């Protein structure tokens, strides 16, 4: 039953509801970063046009050809770290600063939300991050967070420094000894701290989201830049609705067919670039973008690197097998 009769594209009814909402969850996908100029995962360009990106994002691909996979991720790191957070990242970061009961669950690995100043305790990266690197040795527990180095080794330097004709060049055949190695055990190869196809989502992230879910009623679920049709997105929307939440979808593509998602469970549908829409619809809480920039500090927030030597927590999880992206 719809909670009020209204036009689902009406911003005013959304704004009125937002103002009285306390516990809010945002679920974010690739569309959040689109206007920052990042190609989507499947649309990786340049050097990688001839490669099936999905076939590179697996543990087997890394074992078989770590040079190729590291060059792919190095290119993705360089693109992500060169991009800038857009107004949508800033608007969500400001909402988090203003409302400590708001959390963002992001499927993005680009690090643009933390760089926008999103409080880390209110940001749950379910697919890991390109700025995390970790040791592949089963005997070692080395993890480094927030590593924004453009080149982890000289061999992985940005392509233009390696070749003046990078768009045409094939990936180089880099010897394993020239790939990033673990500073702790010294023998283990490092890998990107992202969730690959066939891997579990990080258990500690999932349990923190579950704890938040269980903490009380939820008023609002924002589905941003994702179709919301794949796990974990679909599951979280359902859980929020069970806790009483109204749902707003903000995306370039909104399917009008209820069977394909969207209209069926959404109270509001805002079709377009979330970098334009989010600052508008969140304004009753976050203020104008000038006020947002003043609140967050008008600078790029590259967090300082942190290290963790505890046991891996990524090895156990619930019904998440085979759902990894990136």
The answer to the question of residue 133 lying near Zn ion (CB under 5 A) is no
Closest CB 127 distance from Zn ion, rounded Å: 22
Only one of the segments 78-86, 133-141, 199-207, 279-287 lies at the binding site for Zn ion (rule: CB under 5 A); that segment is 133-141
Task: Indicate the annotated binding residues.
Answer: 135, 140, 182, 185
The answer to the question of residue 85 lying near Zn ion (CB under 5 A) is no
The answer to whether 221 and 237 have CB atoms below 8 angstroms apart is yes
Count the alpha carbons within 13 Å of 66 in the hemisphere toward its beta carbon.
15
Only one of the segments 71-79, 130-138, 154-162, 196-204 lies at the binding site for Zn ion (rule: CB under 5 A); that segment is 130-138
- The Cα 26–Cα 106 span in angstroms is 8
CA 288 centroid distance within chain: 25
Closest CB 181 distance from Zn ion, rounded Å: 8
Tell me the pairing of strands 190-194 and 220-224. unpaired
Out of 18, 182, 249, 250, which residue is the one contacting Zn ion (CB under 5 A)?
Answer: 182
Only one of the segments 2-10, 79-87, 105-113, 136-144 lies at the binding site for Zn ion (rule: CB under 5 A); that segment is 136-144
The answer to the question of residue 135 lying near Zn ion (CB under 5 A) is yes
Catalytic residue check, 127: yes
Closest CA to 98 of 69, 134, 122, 126: 122
Only one of the segments 15-23, 83-91, 158-166, 184-192 lies at the binding site for Zn ion (rule: CB under 5 A); that segment is 184-192
Give me the count of residues in the chain. 326
The answer to the question of residue 18 lying near Zn ion (CB under 5 A) is no
The answer to the question of residue 63 lying near Zn ion (CB under 5 A) is no
Closest CB 63 distance from Zn ion, rounded Å: 16
The secondary structure of 253-270 as a DSSP string is -----GGGSSTTT-SEEE
Nearer to Zn ion, 180 or 279 (CB): 180
Q: Is 286 left (phi over 0), alpha (psi -120 to 50) or beta?
A: alpha
Task: Indicate the annotated binding residues for Zn(2+).
Answer: 135, 140, 182, 185
Out of 63, 170, 185, 229, which residue is the one contacting Zn ion (CB under 5 A)?
Answer: 185
The answer to the question of residue 184 lying near Zn ion (CB under 5 A) is yes
Closest CB 174 distance from Zn ion, rounded Å: 19
The answer to the question of residue 95 lying near Zn ion (CB under 5 A) is no
The answer to the question of residue 301 lying near Zn ion (CB under 5 A) is no
Nearer to Zn ion, 140 or 296 (CB): 140
The answer to the question of residue 293 lying near Zn ion (CB under 5 A) is no
Nearer to Zn ion, 169 or 185 (CB): 185
Count the alpha carbons within 13 Å of 31 in the hemisphere toward its beta carbon.
23
Q: What is residue 127's DSSP assignment?
A: T
The answer to the question of residue 188 lying near Zn ion (CB under 5 A) is yes
The answer to the question of residue 190 lying near Zn ion (CB under 5 A) is no
The answer to whether 213 and 239 have CB atoms below 8 angstroms apart is yes
- The Cα 221–Cα 219 span in angstroms is 7
Site string for Zn ion, 139-168 (x = CB under 5 A): -x-x--------------------------
The answer to whether 159 and 169 have CB atoms below 8 angstroms apart is yes
Spell 40-74 as b/e; 16+ CB within 10 A means b: ebeebeebbeeeebeebbbeebbeeebbbbbbbbb
Catalytic hit among 127, 181, 204, 301: 127
The answer to whether 163 and 173 have CB atoms below 8 angstroms apart is no
* Positions in the binding site for Zn ion (CB under 5 A): 135, 137, 140, 142, 182, 184-185, 188
Residues with a known catalytic role: 127
């Amino acid at each position: 039953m719809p909670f009020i009769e209204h036009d689902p594209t009406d911003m005013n009814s959304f704004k009125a509801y937002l103002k009285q909402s306390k516990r809010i969850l945002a679920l974010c996908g690739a569309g959040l970063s689109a206007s920052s100029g990042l190609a989507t995962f499947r649309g990786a360009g340049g050097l990688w046009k001839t490669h099936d990106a999905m076939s590179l994002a697996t543990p087997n691909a890394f074992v078989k050809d770590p040079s190729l996979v590291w060059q792919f991720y190095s290119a993705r790191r360089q693109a992500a770290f060169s991009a800038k957070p857009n107004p949508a990242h800033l608007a969500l970061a400001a909402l988090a600063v203003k409302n400590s009961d708001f959390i963002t669950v992001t499927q993005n690995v680009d690090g643009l939300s933390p760089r926008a100043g999103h409080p880390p305790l209110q940001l749950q990266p379910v697919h890991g991050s390109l700025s995390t690197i970790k040791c592949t040795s089963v005997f070692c527990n080395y993890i480094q967070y927030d590593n924004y180095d453009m080149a982890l080794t000289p061999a992985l330097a940005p392509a233009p420094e390696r070749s003046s004709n990078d768009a045409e060049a094939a990936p180089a055949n880099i010897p394993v000894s020239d790939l990033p190695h673990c500073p702790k055990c010294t023998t283990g190869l490092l890998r990107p701290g992202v969730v690959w196809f066939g891997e579990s989502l990080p258990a500690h992230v999932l349990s923190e989201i579950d704890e938040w879910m269980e903490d009380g009623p939820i008023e609002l679920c924002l589905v941003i830049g994702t179709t919301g049709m794949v796990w974990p997105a679909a599951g979280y929307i359902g859980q929020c609705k069970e806790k009483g939440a109204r749902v707003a979808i903000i995306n370039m593509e909104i399917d009008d067919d209820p069977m394909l998602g969207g209209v069926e469970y959404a109270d509001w549908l805002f079709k377009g670039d979330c970098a334009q829409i989010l600052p508008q619809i969140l304004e009753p809480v976050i203020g104008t973008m000038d006020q947002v920039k003043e609140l967050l500090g008008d600078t790029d927030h590259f967090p300082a690197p942190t290290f963790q030597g505890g046991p891996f927590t990524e090895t156990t999880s619930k019904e998440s097998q085979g759902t990894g992206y990136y």
